[in-house]
Amino acid sequence: MRTRLGRAQGRACGGWTLGAVKRSAALGLALAAGLVGQAHAEELAADQAAERAVEQLRTYSLEDLTNLRVTTVSKRAEPLIQAPAAIYVITADDIRRSGATSLPEALRLAPNLEVARINAYSYAITARGMNSAESANKLLVLVNGRSVYEPIGSGVLWQQVDVVLSNIDRIEVVSGPGGTLWGANAVNGVINVITKSAKDTDGLRVDGGAGDRQRNLALTYGGVLGGSNYRLSLQTFERDGLDKAPGDPTDDSFRGWQGSARLGGGSPSLGYTLVANAYDNRVGNDGGNLWGGDVMGRVFKTLSGGSRIDAQAYVASDDRSARDTHERRDTFNVQAQMASTFGAHEVVWGGEYRLWREYFLSTNAFHFADPRATISLGSLFAQDEWALRPDLKATIGLKLEENSYSGLDWLPNLRLAWAPSPDSLLWAAASRAVRTPNRIERELQADGFLAPSPDFQSETLWAYEAGARVQLSTRASLSVSGFYNVYNDLRIDAFTNGGLPIVLRNGGEGESWGVEAWGTFDVTPWWRLKAGLNTLRKDFRVKAGETDLARLQIAGMDPKYQAQLRSQMELGPSADLDLALRRVGEVTSAGVVGPVTPAYTEADARIGWRVRPDLELSLAGFNLLNDHHLEIDDHTTAPLRTIPRSVYIGLRWGF
Partner 1 sequence: MPLALLGYALAVMLTVLAATPVSAQTDGLELAVKATYLYKLAPFVSWPASAFASPTAPLVICVQGAGPFGQILDRAVSGQAVGSHPVTIKRLARVDADSGCHIAYLAGGPGQSPAQALQAMEGLPVLTVTDEARGPAKGMVHLLLARGKVRFSVDAQQAEAGGVVISSKLLALAVAVKR
Alpha carbons 300 and 197: distance in angstroms, whole number: 14
For partner 1, which residue of 268, 412, 454, 598 counts as binding (CB under 8 A)? 268
- Name, in order, each residue with C-beta under 8 angstroms of 165's C-beta and a sequence gap of 6 or more: 95, 100, 101, 102, 103, 106, 207, 218
Which positions from 193 through 212 interact with partner 1, judged by CB under 8 A?
Answer: 199
By CB under 8 A, is residue 606 in contact with partner 1?
no
Closest CA to 21 of 175, 125, 137, 124: 137
265 binds partner 1 (CB under 8 A): yes
- H helix or E strand, kind and range, residue 143: strand 139-143
Residues in Cβ contact with 157 at an 8 Å cutoff, skipping those fewer than 6 apart: 16, 17, 18, 19, 150, 290, 320
CB of 414 to partner 1, least distance (A): 25
- Closest to partner 1 by CB, 200 vs 251, is 200
Does the N-terminal peptide bond of residue 501 adopt cis geometry, omega within 30 degrees of 0?
yes
Interface residue with partner 1, options 22, 23, 40, 76 (CB under 8 A): 76
Stretch that binds partner 1, among 52-60, 82-90, 159-167, 274-282 (CB under 8 A): 52-60
Q: Using the minimum distance from each CB to partner 1, give the nearer residue, 113 or 377.
A: 377
Q: Which 134-163 positions form the footprint of partner 1 (CB under 8 A)?
A: none
Written as one letter, the residue type at 268 is P
Sign of dihedral through CA atoms 250, 133, 540, 500? negative
Which of 261, 309, 486, 647 lies at the binding interface for partner 1 (CB under 8 A)? 309
349 binds partner 1, rule: CB under 8 A: no
Q: Which stretch binds partner 1 (CB under 8 A): 146-154, 240-248, 259-267, 415-423?
A: 259-267
- Residue of 163, 97, 101 whose CA lies nearest to 646: 101
| CA-to-CA dists, residue 254 to 240, 246, 248, 257, 414, angstroms | 7, 20, 17, 11, 44
Name which position in 3, 55, 374, 496 contacts partner 1 (CB under 8 A).
55
Residue of the chain from 50, 217, 274, 647 that contacts partner 1 (CB under 8 A): 50
Burial class (CB in 10 A: 0-12, 13-18, 19+), 593: exposed
To which H or E segment does residue 389 belong?
A: strand 372-389
At 258 the three-state DSSP class reads strand
**Is the Cβ of residue 42 or residue 465 nearer to partner 1 in the bound state?**
42
Closer by beta carbon to partner 1, 77 or else 210 = 77
Stretch that binds partner 1, among 6-14, 129-137, 286-294, 352-360 (CB under 8 A): 352-360
For partner 1, which stretch binds (CB under 8 A), given 20-28, 177-185, 277-285, 329-337? 329-337
- φ, ψ at 121 (rounded to 5°): -115, -10
- In angstroms, give the least distance from the CB of 574 to partner 1: 10
3-class DSSP state of 442: helix
Closer to partner 1 by Cβ: residue 60 or 410: 60
Minimum CB distance to partner 1, residue 220 (Å): 19
- Least separation in angstroms between CB 448 and partner 1: 37
When the beta carbons of 20 and 45 are compared against partner 1, the nearer one is 45
Q: Is 612 in the site for partner 1 (CB under 8 A)?
A: no
DSSP characters for 184-245? Answer: TT-SSEEEEEEEPPGGGS-EEEEEEEEESSEEEEEEEEEEEETTEEEEEEEEEEEE---B--
- Site residues for partner 1, window 486-525 (CB under 8 A)? none
168: amino acid identity, one letter:
I
Q: Shortest distance, CB of residue 571 to partner 1, whole angstroms? A: 13
Binding of partner 1 at residue 96 (CB under 8 A)? no
- Of 68-76, 435-443, 495-503, 504-512: span binding partner 1 (CB under 8 A): 68-76
**Distance between the two ends of the chain, CA-based, in angstroms?**
53
Which residue, 299 or 549, is less far from partner 1 as judged by CB?
299
Of 246, 247, 249, 267, the one binding partner 1 by CB under 8 A: 267
- Cβ atoms < 10 Å from Cβ of 202: 16
**384 in contact with partner 1 (CB under 8 A):** no
Among 2, 7, 93, 609, binds partner 1 (CB under 8 A): 93
Angle at 150 between CA 146 and CA 155, to 5 degrees: 105
Residue type, 251: D
Strand, helix or coil at 53? Answer: helix
Interface with partner 1 includes 616 (CB under 8 A)?
no
Residue 527 binding partner 1, by CB under 8 A: no
**Any contact of residue 401 with partner 1 (CB under 8 A)?**
no
What's the full length of the chain, in residues? 655
Q: Which of 443, 327, 294 is nearest to 16 (CA)?
A: 327
Stretch that binds partner 1, among 11-19, 58-66, 132-140, 557-565 (CB under 8 A): 58-66
Other CB atoms within 10 Å distance of the CB of residue 367: 20
53 touching partner 1, by CB under 8 A: yes
The answer to whether residue 60 forms part of the interface with partner 1 (CB under 8 A) is yes
300, 314, 360, 366: which one binds partner 1 (CB under 8 A)? 300
Candidates 111, 176, 179, 271; binder of partner 1 (CB under 8 A) is 271
Quick one: how far is CA 556 from the chain centroid? 18
The SS3 assignment for 403 reads: strand
* Site residues (CB under 8 A) for partner 1, limited to 542-601: 570
Nearer to partner 1 by Cβ, of 93 and 251: the residue is 93
Count of residues interacting with partner 1 (CB under 8 A): 62
531: amino acid identity, one letter: A
Supply the DSSP symbol for 39.
-
* Amino acid making up residue 252: D
Q: Is there binding between residue 390 and partner 1 (CB under 8 A)?
A: no
The span from the CA of 625 to the CA of 605, in Å, is: 11
Nearer to partner 1, 94 or 548 (CB): 94
**Residue 304 touches partner 1, criterion: CB under 8 A:** no
**Radius of gyration from C-alpha coordinates of the chain:** 24
Which of 129, 287, 378, 397 is close enough to bind partner 1 by CB under 8 A?
Answer: 378
Residues of the shown chain interacting with partner 1 in the complex, contacts defined by CB under 8 A: 32, 42-43, 45-51, 53-55, 57-58, 60-63, 65-72, 75-77, 80, 93, 199, 226-228, 265-268, 270-272, 297, 299-301, 309, 311, 313, 334-336, 351-353, 355, 376, 378, 380, 402, 570
